[in-house]
Amino acid sequence: MTRSERALLALNFSVICPGQWSRALDSLGETAESLMSDRKLALSLGLKEDRWERMTRLYGSEWPEEEMERASRFGAKVLFRGDPLFPNGLDYSDDPPVVLYVKGSWPISGPCVSIVGTRRCSPYGSQVARALAEKLASAGVLVISGGAMGIDGSAHSGALEGQGATVAVLGTGVDVVYPRGHEELFSAISERGGALMSRFPMGIRGDRWHFPKRNGIIAALADHLVVVESPVKGGSMITARLAGEMGRPVWAVPGPIVQKVSQGSNKLLFDGAQPLWDLDEFVSFVIGRDSQLSLFPLEETPEPSPLLEEIAMSGGVTADGLADKLGMSVPEVLAALADLEADEKIYRSGPGRWCALL
Amino acid sequence: MNPVKAVTLRGVEAREVDVEVEMAGGLFSISIVGLPDASVRESKERVRAALRSVGVSLKGRIAVNLAPADLPKEGTLMDLPIAVGLALRSDRSPLSRPSLFMGELALDGKIRPVRGAVPAAILARKSGMPLYVPEGNATQVGLVSDVEAYVVDHLSSLLSHIKSGSDLPRVKSEKPGSDIPAADPDFGDIRGQSAAKRALEIAAAGHHNVLLVGAPGSGKTMLARALRGILPPLSDRELLETLTVRSTLGSDGPLDRQPPFRIVHHTASTVAVCGGGSALRPGEISLAHRGVLFLDEFTEFRRDLVEAMRQPLEDGAISVSRASGTVEYPSRVLLVLAANPCGCGWYGDPVEACRCSASELERYRRKFSGPMMDRVDLHISVPRLSPEELVGLSGAASEKSDSIRDRVCRARSVQRERWRRWGYGCNAEVPEKLLRKEMALSREGKAVLIKMANRLNLSGRGMSRVLKVSRTVADLAGESEVSKTAVMEALSYRGETRS
């Protein structure tokens, strides 16, 4: 391990915003390493004395070797700022990480789309995230999201179903499974061509302030950021703002205006985010097949079944209502619904209710 | 050998008990031996008073032995045989032939009804002895055919019948007709919910256990209650089985062929549900035998209670073991479970927002697995209808319960005919191997099932559920072959939702 790597590990562990310090050092033509021996320099940059002492103590101790050992035992790579494998898009953020822990494959080539949204999503949000990620992944696009329940989890499972790569950026140490229920998902992600990624040292548990920092990475890595469902206040809104500041295109999926979980994403549309109104068109756009989203009517698609048409028109319909409208018997409707569900054309939006997935 | 016989209950079975009496000189005392419980021991006071009221006064030291002496005896039904034994012994008159007596005595010699009349009648039929029963039990006894049974309303008339051969009314053998009470609630009165009604029709026809999932107020409980009205009426044998259980608890109830419907609350004790206890009583699961056992708010049930219900649901009978031996109660029920879609109840509701966190949802979902769920063939989602939807439903009145029941009965008799050779009565009971061999799945049906099983990742158990349900769907349609549509419809009751 080089001295500068030791310095970066110590800086990362001791300081809340290591990226800011490393930026400041850059502008002075100094490195993290020099910070360790130069108390005056540290204080002049505004570093608190106790922090500096802690940092230098770590730098001089066995700790950096132990940390590397912990990472390699877990099977994670440690990437340092300046490393050729270190993702360069990160420099656009306010506080770029100086160290990244990655378990799984890295780097992964191709365009990246980050999918974010609330943990407490509706069945609609969850289905959209899953279907979008699946389509993207099978088109060869890298899907990125956090590791939380809700939209994050649905996006990762969708990508895995699309046989593609997906990266989960965590707000905890890369070896900490949080939330608990995602143990299986996380191991599937790192084993099937994707990766778990974190800027936090090994073994660190989630803390409130971790998540905005994680969101910065999600925004910075993306070529496009999609907010599927978010209330007006929430982590996804922060991610969207960060992505906007970094110049990434921000997309939002429209939702019912009466639903709290859709109000944030709808507001993003009002504020100028791109409306993601058709999954296939978005995917084509991302992979560059369509250079421009069409302003013209859609091409004629093959005639869908009247049942699917009806579900698509109303949304959240019951088998009863469908039978009534189409003049079919309830058993007929149920049989047809089973078929459409297996084809993943429709999904259950609630007990006894169906929505179409377009 | 003393020919005066009493009966005592072991589970739902009646056992014969000999009543032996010994009288000796000395100060007056009565002791009853032979494992009597408190209610039997107390009977000596009732017996003495009742005998005095008909002019028999007891003297000296009296011992009453109930044999076999190692069989526990319980209940007030021993009053009458003990009184008869004492009366005959005190004036040394003989009984012409062994007879069974049962009844509780009032102090003035009147005879009151007791628990266990149906098992006693079955015992009488088996042994060929005449049975003397209180008036209040006569209707129940009348349901058991080929029994020589007499109605006794007062100790004096019984004694004069024994001594001088005066006439006693015979119990009239009478079966309830095929009429059953009007369904309440009637399916015809429930607006909308045709999909759920259809699924319940299938459940009734094939005796499939069901799970109803829906938001509070969507009508799960009402639908479950309405299920009772479309079940086939009980056959003679089934009626006798249900009455036997009821009779051991002494609950009379109306005598009709409507299958029982029992609701179990999640706070119920294991003994109340599964039976047992120090006094050995059948539980709710046995009271629901041949009918519906309804567990509302299923997710609130304690694990140990669910665990305890597993074996009786599987075997159709529950054994309760005591130091004194094992008794068995029947427990063949149609299980109906109802639950909210999530902890707060509003998950997926079009109007009300769900307040559960992701981990709460996850925790709640995990409750839909395990021993009980493995026995559920049909998952029914019950949407909560908005007022607009209720109004918007076409004016056509829904089908009434009795016309649905006709269809169910037809489907059931087809099943009985098909499985008779193997001794099964309905599709749900048939083991998977036999089902696969004999269910007559059409070529297109098989093709679509294989295709869908791959696409939906159906487990082996999931497959066999779909097979059973699709056989019932075809039976309802009166089709000998299971068509593609029947399989597709059965697949729609899978219920495993992705989220």
Confidence class of residue A294 from pLDDT cuts 50, 70 and 90?
low
Q: What was the pLDDT predicted at A348?
A: 87
Q: Mean pLDDT in chain B?
A: 88
What are the backbone angles phi and psi of residue A72, rounded to the nearest 5°?
-70, -30
B395: helix, coil or strand?
coil
Q: What was the pLDDT predicted at A292?
A: 52
- Distance from the Cα of B475 to chain A's closest Cα (Å) equals 14
Q: Flag if A120 and B488 touch (Cβ within 8 Å).
A: no
Q: Flag if A349 and B193 touch (Cβ within 8 Å).
A: no
**How many CB atoms sit inside 10 A of residue B422's CB?**
11
Among chain B residues, the shortest Cα distance to A128 is held by B499
Q: Does A349 touch chain B (CB under 8 A)?
A: yes
DSSP at B441: B
What gap in Å lies between CA A268 and CA A244, rounded to an integer? 11
Residue A271's contacts (CB-CB under 8 Å, 6 or more residues apart) are none
**How many CB atoms sit inside 10 A of residue B391's CB?**
9
pLDDT, one tens digit per residue, over B322-345 is: 776 788 899 999 999 999 999 898
Take residue B113 and report the two structure tokens written for it.
Answer: 């009804």
Element (H, E) at B371: none
- Distance from the Cα of B370 to chain A's closest Cα (Å) equals 18
Largest CA distance in chain B: 89
**Per-residue H/E/C for A9-20:** HHHHHHCCCHHH
Q: Does A178 touch chain B (CB under 8 A)?
A: no
Confidence class of residue B32 from pLDDT cuts 50, 70 and 90?
very high
Element (H, E) at A99: strand A99-104
C-alpha distances in Å from residue A309, one per residue of A298, A312, A315, B22, B488:
16, 5, 10, 89, 20
Q: Number of Cβ pairs closer than 8 Å across A and B?
A: 120
pLDDT, one tens digit per residue, over B89-98 is: 888 888 888 9
Q: Does position B1 have pLDDT exceeding 80, yes or no?
A: no
Q: Which residue has the higher pLDDT, B499 or B449?
A: B449
Q: What was the pLDDT predicted at B498?
A: 40
- Distance from the Cα of A338 to chain B's closest Cα (Å) equals 5
Q: Mean pLDDT in chain A?
A: 88
Q: Flag if B498 and A352 touch (Cβ within 8 Å).
A: no
Across the interface, of B193, B356, B362, the residue whose CB is closest to A320 is B193
Residue B122 identity: I
What gap in Å lies between CA B382 and CA B196, rounded to an integer? 6
Q: Does A149 touch chain B (CB under 8 A)?
A: yes
Lowest mean pLDDT among A52-66, A288-302, B197-211: A288-302
**Are B83 and B51 spatial neighbours (Cβ–Cβ below 8 Å)?**
yes
What gap in Å lies between CA B416 and CA B439, rounded to an integer? 13
Q: Flag if B381 and A321 touch (Cβ within 8 Å).
A: no
Q: Flag if B348 and A323 touch (Cβ within 8 Å).
A: no
What gap in Å lies between CA B117 and CA B103, rounded to an integer? 9
Q: Is the dihedral of CA A28, A33, A36, A37 positive or negative?
A: negative
Count Cβ atoms within 10 A of the Cβ of residue A109 and give its class: 0-12 exposed, 13-18 middle, 19 or more buried.
Answer: exposed
Q: Flag if B492 and A335 touch (Cβ within 8 Å).
A: yes
DSSP at A305: P
What are the backbone angles phi and psi of residue B159, rounded to the nearest 5°?
-65, -40
Q: Does B364 touch chain A (CB under 8 A)?
A: no
Q: Over range B305-331, report the average pLDDT.
A: 86
Q: Over range B107-134, report the average pLDDT.
A: 93
Take residue B184 and report the two structure tokens written for it.
Answer: 């309440």
C-alpha distances in Å from residue B3, one per residue of B67, B99, B267:
12, 7, 48
Residue A263's contacts (CB-CB under 8 Å, 6 or more residues apart) are A231, A232, A257
Residue A37's contacts (CB-CB under 8 Å, 6 or more residues apart) are A56
**Are A125 and A118 spatial neighbours (Cβ–Cβ below 8 Å)?**
yes
Q: Which of B87, B100, B109, B104 is nearest to B154 (CA)?
A: B109
What gap in Å lies between CA B314 and CA B446, rounded to an integer? 28
Q: Does A182 touch chain B (CB under 8 A)?
A: no
Confidence class of residue B393 from pLDDT cuts 50, 70 and 90?
low
By percentage, how much of chain A surpasses pLDDT 90?
50
Q: Does B397 touch chain A (CB under 8 A)?
A: no
Q: What was the pLDDT predicted at B251?
A: 65
Q: Is the dihedral of CA A31, A33, A34, A35 positive or negative?
A: positive
pLDDT, one tens digit per residue, over B234-276 is: 988 899 999 899 888 876 666 788 999 999 999 999 889 988 8
Q: Flag if A149 and B215 touch (Cβ within 8 Å).
A: no
Q: Does B498 touch chain A (CB under 8 A)?
A: yes
What gap in Å lies between CA B316 and CA B289, rounded to an integer? 8
Q: What was the pLDDT predicted at A114?
A: 96
pLDDT, one tens digit per residue, over A187-232 is: 999 999 999 999 999 999 988 888 888 999 999 999 999 999 999 9
Q: Does B456 touch chain A (CB under 8 A)?
A: yes
Lowest mean pLDDT among B160-164, B184-188, B452-456: B452-456
Q: What was the pLDDT predicted at B497?
A: 46
Per DSSP bridges, beta strands B4-10 and A250-252 are: unpaired
Which chain B residues contact residue A126 at CB under 8 A? 499
Take residue B205 and report the two structure tokens written for it.
Answer: 């026809």
Residue B248's contacts (CB-CB under 8 Å, 6 or more residues apart) are B9, B11, B12, B115, B116, B119, B281, B282
Per DSSP bridges, beta strands A112-116 and A142-146 are: parallel
Across the interface, of A122, A261, A337, the residue whose CB is closest to B492 is A337
Q: Which of B86, B106, B93, B99 is nearest to B153 (CA)?
A: B106
Confidence class of residue B315 from pLDDT cuts 50, 70 and 90?
confident
B32: helix, coil or strand?
strand
Q: Flag if B455 and A342 touch (Cβ within 8 Å).
A: yes
DSSP at B298: G
Take residue B285 and report the two structure tokens written for it.
Answer: 């699961």
- Distance from the Cα of A167 to chain B's closest Cα (Å) equals 20
Q: Which residue has the higher pLDDT, B49 or A38?
A: B49
Q: Cis before residue A84, ω within 30 degrees of 0?
A: no
Q: Flag if B393 and A324 touch (Cβ within 8 Å).
A: yes
Q: Does B496 touch chain A (CB under 8 A)?
A: no
Sheet bearing B292-295, strands edge to edge = B261-264, B292-295, B334-339, B210-214, B378-382
Q: Flag if B348 and A351 touch (Cβ within 8 Å).
A: yes
Q: Flag if A318 and B389 touch (Cβ within 8 Å).
A: yes
Half-sphere exposure in the Cβ direction for A161 (13 Å, CA): 19
Which residue reads 């088996």 in tokens?
Answer: B126
Take residue A170 and report the two structure tokens written for it.
Answer: 């965590």
What are the backbone angles phi and psi of residue A228, rounded to the nearest 5°?
-80, -50
- Distance from the Cα of B350 to chain A's closest Cα (Å) equals 7
Count Cβ atoms within 10 A of the Cβ of residue A344 and give its class: 0-12 exposed, 13-18 middle, 19 or more buried.
Answer: middle
Give the distance, in angstroms, between the CA of residue A93 and the centroid of all CA atoms in the same chain. Answer: 15
Q: What is the rounded radius of gyration, in angstroms, for the C-alpha atoms of chain B?
A: 28
Q: Flag if A120 and B354 touch (Cβ within 8 Å).
A: yes
Helix, strand, coil share (%) of chain B residues, nearest 5: 45, 20, 40
pLDDT, one tens digit per residue, over B353-380 is: 788 887 888 888 888 877 788 789 999 9
A244: helix, coil or strand?
helix
CA end-to-end span of chain B: 74
Give the distance, in angstroms, between the CA of residue B89 and the centroid of all CA atoms in the same chain. Answer: 41
What gap in Å lies between CA A152 and CA A116, rounded to an integer? 6
What gap in Å lies between CA B80 and CA B136, rounded to an integer? 14
Which residue reads 């969207």 in tokens?
Answer: A240
Q: Flag if B192 and A318 touch (Cβ within 8 Å).
A: yes
Across the interface, of A126, A331, A341, the residue whose CB is closest to B489 is A331
Residue A96 identity: P
Q: Does position B499 have pLDDT exceeding 50, yes or no?
A: no
What gap in Å lies between CA B209 and CA B200, rounded to an integer? 9
**Are B2 and B101 spatial neighbours (Cβ–Cβ below 8 Å)?**
no
DSSP at A46: T
